[in-house]
Amino acid sequence: MRTLLKVQMDVEAANRAIKDGSWARTMERVMQELQPEAAYFTALDGKRTGLIVFDLKEPSQIPSIAEPFFMAVNASIELAPVMTLEDVQSGLERAAEAF
């Protein structure tokens, strides 16, 4: 299932992880595992934030995805299923047929 992962990092924890190089290693490991469709980084709510779109194959992947962020930068995360425009159009067509 196409999933959006929103990662918001604790500022102080991220500062330490960036300085000691552990953040780069964590990101490399996670990105290799996720093979994301897209990954964007910005500042939201005054925190470093990553928005990563990837294929969640099964819910049992969630701990191995979330824990590196929790452990490395005291992050908060959100996971949400997302759709492409084509997915929305297809879903709306099916919904219209149901009525």
- Residue ranges in the chain modelled with pLDDT below 50: none
From residue 59, how far is each of 5, 11, 67 by CA, in Å?
13, 28, 14
- Cross-strand pairs, 5: 52, 79
pTM over 0.95: no
Residue 1 and residue 59: Cα distance in Å, rounded? 10
What is the predicted pLDDT for the residue at 98? 82
What is the predicted pLDDT for the residue at 99? 79
